[in-house]
Structure 1
Amino acid sequence: MKNHIQHITFFLVLIFTSVSQAQNIKITGTLVEQETAQPIPYATVAIFNNDTKKVITGTTTDDNGKFNVAVPNANIYFEVSFMGYKTKTINKFSVSNNKIDLGTVQLASDNQALDEVVVSGEVSKTTFKLDKRVFNVGKDISSTGVSALEVLNNVPSVNVNIEGEVTLRGSGGVQILINGKPSVLADQSSNALGTITADMIESIEVITNPSAKYEASGTSGILNIILKKEEKQGWNGSISANTGIPDNHSIGVSINRRTEKFNLFSQFGAGYRSLPRDTEANNFNKTSGKTIASIGEEFRNESFFNITLGTDYHLNEYNVFTLSGNFAYEIEDQPSETNFSSFTESNLDSRWIRKETTEATNPKWQYEFNWKKTFKNSKDHTFQLSALGSFFGKDQSSLFTDTTVEGENVDSNQRTATNFQQADYTLKADYVNPISKEYTLETGVQYVINDVGNDFEVENFVNGAYEIDEDLTNNFEWNQKVLGVYATGAYENDAWGVKVGLRVENTDLNTLLTNTNEANARNFTNLFPTLHTSYKLSENFSLQAGYSKRIFRPRLWDLNPFFNIRNNFNVRVGNPDLLPEFTHSYELTSIYKIGKASLSSSLYHRYTTDVVERVSTFDNDVTYTTPENIGTNATYGFETNGKYSPAKWLTFNGDFNFNYFDRKGTFEDQIFDFTGSQWSTRLGSKIGLPADIDLELNGNYRSGFETVQGKQSGFAFLDLGLRKKIFKGKIVANLGVRDVFASRIQERFVNQTTFSTYDYSLRGRFITFGISYGFGKGEAMTYSGRRR
């Protein structure tokens, strides 16, 4: 509290002291840590009058810990302070030639203050901006060694199902960005988000109504993942090792070196993990009375290696260049075994075992160049140019064998081979001009190229030899180019703000099945207006409102027409003829504080046309699930989330989301008009225990909901974690348990006139233990490598 009062007094004096006052004595010095002799930047040096004890003037240290200031006379004393260090008073010095050289001033760490900082900073929290919410990722214990998908699962408004599909307020079509730009690491179709670990994430921006500055993709909004980049001078870093059940073993190193001109950063990771999954399915033919039932276990075993290298070069205080690259290589082994049974009425026709052996190698790399120019008149007056390129490849082969155990002989073998390559390129320029204190203009352009080739082959074992199945073999080429231009204008004062914008996007999409020469080309241009406003009624209560128009362009895995034949009686296939969804989104949000609690609540409405739904059809006892455009969806929802800290050692946080939807549409002469609702809630707590141990509990519940052909069940699950700090936090040990009761079960029911189906999926319980060591100025970061 004493430091806060001194800082406030110091800044008031700076504002009201006349700049014309004579200042004749020059004061210089350098501030460093007592333990490491590393410079301390941005610390406060306050100068007091010896008689009145009031602040005369002051300054802050630069990046190298140096400071200089002038005073009118030598009847003074100094107080040097910085958060996490003991304040130092200097009242003995000498004056020579109107100069005071304090030399090297050492500050000792304030262990008590450091502990308080760590406690307050470890719980993830949400802050609010004019057009977005920012979820600052703390060191949540249950997130030890987990991927970005699991971190997203702890973000208010966001849900991630067992399949890794990300939804925002219960709706799909989420655009995921990395550091504000598209990235191969954010590609949901390749499960690439699993390559980003919790320890690499600084914050996640939840943008339910994005401004025109952002790409219009994502009908339910945007999630922007901001990655960490160490900014402390000198050598900093962390070494981590993790192990877990099922197999989840990794080592990781994060190193950073910052100087006045350069910031060099690197990360290295390697490991092995196994992802088991239990499955169950039933297909019932209501016409013939025949049932195909299956139960099995699948694995995805992965060995991985990755390296990230990058540098920021500060040409001067107005120009910064960033060049970075990442390379990762993964080796997959996917064994599975499924037991099938075929019944007619209650009579067993046949029972057999289908085994799969799949091997794959996945190289991926990404490179980025970024130039940011800051203009001299304002630090917020900027121009930024970036170029991003990425590649993801998969060379995969699979062998499927069917072995009859009982009844009718159904023995058969199949082989598949996949050669997949995806290249993405993004060019982006953004200009921000704060015309005045209240008015800001933003404009920019973005050009995105997605180029994909997927050569897929299926062979059947016939008469002692493998023969190509021409109906299931083809080469799919997908090329999409999107050009976007935007402009926004904003006015914001202390109480009220408004931001309007318009984005124009042209989409050029081409798909081609080369073996059968089936081509599909589309070219369309759309306008995407946005409007945001906020009003601060008091220090404890604010309102926000927003509108945006969004687009969901079908992704590769929605369009790709190839069959997944792991379970050849429950087949998923894409649809090259899918049209994009368009959504009009409206939102009203209140933000308020009540005592020790901070809360926000939102009312929202979304209206979507050409909704993409997964539709099941039935043919010869096989269920085919394909995405189709079916009608419209009007959603009305309420969401609230908040945080409450009744004591320093106890914090609660949670959120609740409810929405009602009205679906209208037809498919193949069948009417899909119905209404329904779904809701989810989450409650987390962090408890400080003796001996520097923390306990964390996070409980989740997601309700079931109706689909166009049936329903999906709800489920509840609990995560917990324990953390122990050693040597003042330089070493940290974590124990995390995801899905403690193995209750995160996904069930899908389809009930139609001629058939019904049931699908069950369970990932199970995951236990991880990690230990990490931070060196230099780095803290133990529990970095666990980058994983798929």
Structure 2
Amino acid sequence: MKRYVFTLSFGALFGLSHGYAQVPTDSLSVQPVAADSTQPAAPKNPVVTGFLVDSTGGKPVEFASVALFNRSTNQLVTGTVADGKGQFTISNVSPGNYRLQISFVGYETKSIEPLNVIQDVTLGVIKLSGDSKTLQEVTVTGQKALIEEKVDRLVYNAEKDISSKGGDASDILRKVPMLSVDLDGNVSMRGSSNIRVLINNKPSTIVASSVADALKQIPADQIATVEVITSPSAKYDAEGSGGIINIITKKNNLQGFNLNLDTGVGNRGANLGLNGNYRQGKMGFTLGGFGRAEYNVKTLSTLDQTSQVGGNTLLSRQRGEGMSRGLMGRYNLGWDYDISKNQSITAGIRYGLRNRNVDQDYLTELFTNGAMTGTQNRNVTTKNNSGTIDANIDYLHIFKPQQEWSVSALYSRNDMVNNFDADLLSGESLTGRQRNLNDNVNQEFTLQTDYQTPIQKNQMLEFGLKGIMRKVNSNYEYLLAGPTGNYFPQENNPEGFLDYNQNIAAGYASYTYTTKNKYTFKVGTRYEYTAIDARSNTDASIAIPNYSNFVPSVNISKALKTGMVKLAYNRRIQRPGIQQLNPNFNAANPQNVTMGNPLLRPELTDNVELGYSNTFNKAFFNAAVFGRFTNNSITQVRTPLDTLAGAILTTFENIGSEHALGVNLFFKYDLSSKFSLDFFTNSYYTKLQGTTTGLDGLSINIENSGFNVDFGSRLQATLGKGWGIQGFGMMRGPQVQLQGRMAGFGFYNLGIRKDFANKKGSIGIAAENFLASNIRMKTELTSPQFTQVNNMYMYNRGVRLTFSYKIGKMSMQAPRRRTKSIQNDDVKDGGGTDTGAGMQNGSGGQPSGGTPSGGAPAGGGKPTTSPKK
């Protein structure tokens, strides 16, 4: 009779070090062995045991590969994988002379020889040293505390930002290189607001409707990293012409239970957050909630508008005083389960809440050809409320290292209310009332599958399919009432609706190749087909043709000894969002009316980027030159209204083209082990040109160009006994618009924190813009038909006290498998939010996107292989 001995190659054993024990079939051999009476029949052969720890931190090294070789033949005899505590046991070892070899990603391979096995062998603690060569292929050595550079993205580590504690995501994003955030939270990347924001690799309908509002619902304390993807590969949705932003929140992969309490109170707002984690064995749960209240947010504005209508010169002068208040919350319940050692399933549901009311008092003076024709007093309360539900389920199957398949489903719904109530006054007497009701529903269902597999050791192939079914509905009406009595419909502005259905089918393929001299090439293409069915109360069917797009991408990088050079090209598409499409005539401020355009087409952008980063002793430097060329650009366009004296209508059109050429610089220097200083600047030249239609129905050519400059700096200090301090300041120059320039502004803050001795909690204080009572922003817009000068005074001096504490205790567990998730990188955001006297403050923020949690190595880098020997 024959017995069979199963042997496993070292490459297969290395695969086990990734956290699962499946053996690749192409590495498994079955060898017949003749019966040998000299081998002992008793089942008491020796056992080899040991305990693996990190040489620097002393923490267990989990799931490392342990192989036993015959010293005379150098043949693999047997092997195992360390458990979640770093312990390993090799049983039933025949007596002999062996070599024990231990390997794991990120550590130098360690050999123990000679190992004479006669009886049980206890090796005790075995220390493994980090492999700096392996780490250099993934990130810039020594910079992980702040920034990591990848082939297609920049990763900003936000966990040590103490000055933003108690704030929200917009406070963090202000400090990320290449990003710019205005005082209302509208985000732009390299001057483009056509971006997409993801949260933990997942989209949300609330982000699609308003990036600024979504950022206010994410507490700064819970943000681990921010990924800025300037050149997305074909794997990502084609939307977001300016790039993709992915906000990664803190996660806990430990066993046991804990509860984190974060709270803060200040003169303009307060927050309270509770986040709990429970994990036992293969199953884990997360439950979290965060609430934020805003109060004492005062604004003051002036608006002068001159327009030419019917041969007359109309002038309106307006002063507005406002006060806003709001409640925002974000709540989540998550569940994950390890089906087996190479399969996992994750599910979650998240609810976002936003209730924001703005009270504004307007005093408007009207002039015709220099003579005053009347005054208007108007007190307006604007309600901007929403409730968002996101529910997902994701399945991941890992076949062998880097070979995996995933299926993901996501349902999102956002119910939005954007109403206003206005009291019309004559002096102090109420003469009438006006109400605008505008309800919106944005629903999405997405199904996606992705597959990736390595080809040899230096190549990666990825492909996938995705479908998005989106329904957008808007219902609106105007109502009037006298000083008393019931409301009735306004005859000259009847009720209406928009039903907008959009279905997208997409497929992609991407190939990554890394040479021996550390060049990485990542090329791919994506095909998307978009079908639109739209109708309104005025048009039974809105004529918007279906369209298809091929979206290529190329990323090339060269890894240097301590840095990287990269060249990238991609094409992006940007579809209009609900606030660009919504035809509701919003006259909360009748001198500055807004209305969407359901006939908008998508815009197409070609992006080119050349980047360089390197580490010089204690300094890190990153620079990038970029070009952006957009056709059918979706842009805010303003024209005089002939139905309201002195009023300006702001809407959206595909104006023509927008070209930008610029440079980003980031420099960080470690003054010592406790002090660091960094500086950044984003500078670019932009040119916008196109045509619009005037009041007489004739086309008007519009063109504008100029330079835009942002710059800022940060100082961090880690003091003794748990004390830390951080200061930050930035200036944003005026931004070029199609019809003028939007105001610039400055922002600065200072934070101090004291960690408790047991690291269970901390207490701190943070202040922002504390040297001045307000910030003045001046926006000037011009055209042959009108001029508009808007002065906005933002009273955002603030100070807040923060406190955090951790309850419970958790122990280390094995690294969990990555989970795949859906990312809908489309839909343009709705532009600047109304502030102060209701004036628009930007050209609109766009959706931005992010990175998948699984997939190829970040940035398309070299697929993970065995540690260097």
TM-score bin, normalised by smaller chain: 0.7 to 0.9
Between stretches 650-659 and 329-338, larger displacement belongs to: 329-338
Other-structure match for 2:660: 635
Other-structure match for 1:578: 600
Other-structure match for 1:265: 286
- Is 1:665 the counterpart of 2:690? The answer is yes
> In structure 2, what is the Cα distance between the partners aligned to 1:250 and 1:592?
39
Letter in 1 for 2:566: Q
The 5 Å alignment of 1:576-655 reads 576-619=598-641, 620-655=645-680
> In structure 2, what is the Cα distance between the partners aligned to 1:39 and 1:264?
25
The 5 Å alignment of 1:535-546 reads 535-536=558-559, 538-546=560-568
Query: What are the superposed Cα offsets for residues 33-73 of structure 1, whole Å, 9 maximum, x if unpaired?
Result: xxxxx9966399999xxxxxxxxx99985325544368999
- 2:209–2:578: 8 Å Cα contact kept in structure 1? no
Query: What are the superposed Cα offsets for residues 641-666 of structure 1, whole Å, 9 maximum, x if unpaired?
Result: 13211201211122112112233323
> In structure 1, what is the Cα distance between the partners aligned to 2:503 and 2:65?
54
- Is 1:307 the counterpart of 2:334? The answer is no
> In structure 2, what is the Cα distance between the partners aligned to 1:697 and 1:262?
41
Q: Helix, strand or coil for the counterpart of 2:569?
A: strand
* Alignment partner of 1:236 out of 253, 258, 264: 258
Quote the offset at 1:254 in angstroms.
0.9
> Residues 332 and 604 from structure 1, CA distance in 2 versus in 1: closer, same or farther, beyond 3 angstroms?
closer
Other-structure match for 1:414: 434
Other-structure match for 2:542: 519
Other-structure match for 2:847: none
Query: What are the superposed Cα offsets for residues 261-296 of structure 1, whole Å, 9 maximum, x if unpaired?
Result: 112211123453234443332212366454322222
Other-structure match for 1:42: 62
Between stretches 646-655 and 547-556, larger displacement belongs to: 646-655
Q: Helix, strand or coil for the counterpart of 1:647?
A: coil
> Residues 728 and 632 from structure 1, CA distance in 2 versus in 1: closer, same or farther, beyond 3 angstroms?
same
Letter in 1 for 2:278: R
> Residues 706 and 45 from structure 1, CA distance in 2 versus in 1: closer, same or farther, beyond 3 angstroms?
closer
> In structure 2, what is the Cα distance between the partners aligned to 1:613 and 1:306?
31
> In structure 1, what is the Cα distance between the partners aligned to 2:810 and 2:372?
64
- 1:369–1:386: 8 Å Cα contact kept in structure 2? yes
Instruction: List alignment gaps of at least 5 residues for structure 2.
Output: 1-13, 18-44, 68-77, 98-116, 127-140, 694-698, 812-832, 834-869
> Residues 699 and 743 from structure 1, CA distance in 2 versus in 1: closer, same or farther, beyond 3 angstroms?
farther
> Residues 290 and 145 from structure 1, CA distance in 2 versus in 1: closer, same or farther, beyond 3 angstroms?
same
* Alignment partner of 1:711 out of 741, 746, 751: 741
- 1:585–1:606: 8 Å Cα contact kept in structure 2? yes
> In structure 2, what is the Cα distance between the partners aligned to 1:679 and 1:256?
43
- 2:595–2:651: 8 Å Cα contact kept in structure 1? yes
- Is 1:167 the counterpart of 2:188? The answer is yes
* Alignment partner of 1:282 out of 276, 292, 304: 304
Other-structure match for 1:133: 154
> In structure 1, what is the Cα distance between the partners aligned to 2:341 and 2:513?
28
> Residues 417 and 188 from structure 1, CA distance in 2 versus in 1: closer, same or farther, beyond 3 angstroms?
closer
* Alignment partner of 1:753 out of 778, 784, 789: 784
- Is 1:298 the counterpart of 2:328? The answer is no
> In structure 2, what is the Cα distance between the partners aligned to 1:727 and 1:148?
28
> Residues 184 and 616 from structure 1, CA distance in 2 versus in 1: closer, same or farther, beyond 3 angstroms?
same
> In structure 2, what is the Cα distance between the partners aligned to 1:135 and 1:778?
27
> In structure 1, what is the Cα distance between the partners aligned to 2:181 and 2:679?
16
Provide the TM-score with structure 2 as the length reference: 0.75
Other-structure match for 2:397: 373
Q: Helix, strand or coil for the counterpart of 1:293?
A: strand
Other-structure match for 1:727: 757
* Alignment partner of 1:769 out of 801, 806, 819: 801
* Alignment partner of 2:767 out of 725, 737, 740: 737
Quote the offset at 1:214 in angstroms.
0.3
Other-structure match for 1:334: 358
> Residues 644 and 391 from structure 1, CA distance in 2 versus in 1: closer, same or farther, beyond 3 angstroms?
same
Query: What are the superposed Cα offsets for residues 573-596 of structure 1, whole Å, 9 maximum, x if unpaired?
Result: 111111211111111111111221
> Residues 704 and 123 from structure 1, CA distance in 2 versus in 1: closer, same or farther, beyond 3 angstroms?
farther
Other-structure match for 2:108: none
The 5 Å alignment of 1:397-476 reads 397-405=419-427, 411-461=431-481, 466-470=487-491, 471=493, 473-476=495-498
- 1:185–1:195: 8 Å Cα contact kept in structure 2? no
> In structure 2, what is the Cα distance between the partners aligned to 1:628 and 1:745?
29
Other-structure match for 2:849: none
Quote the offset at 1:391 in angstroms.
1.3
Quote the offset at 1:297 in angstroms.
3.2
Letter in 2 for 1:512: R
> Residues 199 and 509 from structure 1, CA distance in 2 versus in 1: closer, same or farther, beyond 3 angstroms?
farther
Quote the offset at 1:462 in angstroms.
5.7
Between stretches 456-465 and 170-179, larger displacement belongs to: 456-465
- 2:780–2:788: 8 Å Cα contact kept in structure 1? yes
Other-structure match for 1:508: 531
> Residues 564 and 74 from structure 1, CA distance in 2 versus in 1: closer, same or farther, beyond 3 angstroms?
farther
Other-structure match for 2:228: 206
> In structure 2, what is the Cα distance between the partners aligned to 1:324 and 1:547?
35
> In structure 1, what is the Cα distance between the partners aligned to 2:64 and 2:808?
23
Quote the offset at 1:743 in angstroms.
5.9
Quote the offset at 1:197 in angstroms.
1.8
Between stretches 710-719 and 562-571, larger displacement belongs to: 710-719
* Alignment partner of 1:478 out of 475, 500, 516: 500
Between stretches 212-221 and 661-670, larger displacement belongs to: 661-670
- 1:189–1:556: 8 Å Cα contact kept in structure 2? no
Q: CA RMSD of the aligned region, Å?
A: 3.7
> In structure 1, what is the Cα distance between the partners aligned to 2:144 and 2:206?
26
> In structure 2, what is the Cα distance between the partners aligned to 1:199 and 1:724?
15
- 1:63–1:260: 8 Å Cα contact kept in structure 2? no
Quote the offset at 1:142 in angstroms.
2.1
Q: Helix, strand or coil for the counterpart of 1:146?
A: coil
> In structure 1, what is the Cα distance between the partners aligned to 2:189 and 2:244?
9
Query: What are the superposed Cα offsets for residues 111-144 of structure 1, whole Å, 9 maximum, x if unpaired?
Result: xxxxxxxxx9999622122222222222312221
Q: Helix, strand or coil for the counterpart of 2:579?
A: helix
- Is 1:196 the counterpart of 2:226? The answer is no
> In structure 2, what is the Cα distance between the partners aligned to 1:498 and 1:761?
48
Letter in 1 for 2:397: K
Query: What are the superposed Cα offsets for residues 680-703 of structure 1, whole Å, 9 maximum, x if unpaired?
Result: 112111123454322211111122
* Alignment partner of 1:385 out of 385, 395, 407: 407
> In structure 2, what is the Cα distance between the partners aligned to 1:350 and 1:778?
70
Between stretches 38-47 and 483-492, larger displacement belongs to: 38-47
- 1 or 2 for the larger relative contact order (CA 8 Å, sep ≥6)? 2
Letter in 1 for 2:151: L
Q: Helix, strand or coil for the counterpart of 2:210?
A: helix
> In structure 2, what is the Cα distance between the partners aligned to 1:192 and 1:169?
21
Provide the TM-score with structure 1 as the length reference: 0.82
> In structure 1, what is the Cα distance between the partners aligned to 2:65 and 2:551?
50
- 2:62–2:85: 8 Å Cα contact kept in structure 1? no
Instruction: List alignment gaps of at least 5 residues for structure 1.
Output: 1-10, 15-22, 33-37, 48-56, 76-94, 106-119, 780-787
Quote the offset at 1:178 in angstroms.
2.6
Other-structure match for 1:319: 343
Quote the offset at 1:303 in angstroms.
3.1
Other-structure match for 1:692: 722
Other-structure match for 2:277: 256
Between stretches 585-594 and 249-258, larger displacement belongs to: 249-258
Quote the offset at 1:371 in angstroms.
0.5
> Residues 160 and 147 from structure 1, CA distance in 2 versus in 1: closer, same or farther, beyond 3 angstroms?
same
Q: Helix, strand or coil for the counterpart of 2:668?
A: strand
Between stretches 349-358 and 629-638, larger displacement belongs to: 349-358
> Residues 304 and 705 from structure 1, CA distance in 2 versus in 1: closer, same or farther, beyond 3 angstroms?
closer
- 1:654–1:684: 8 Å Cα contact kept in structure 2? yes
> Residues 642 and 165 from structure 1, CA distance in 2 versus in 1: closer, same or farther, beyond 3 angstroms?
same
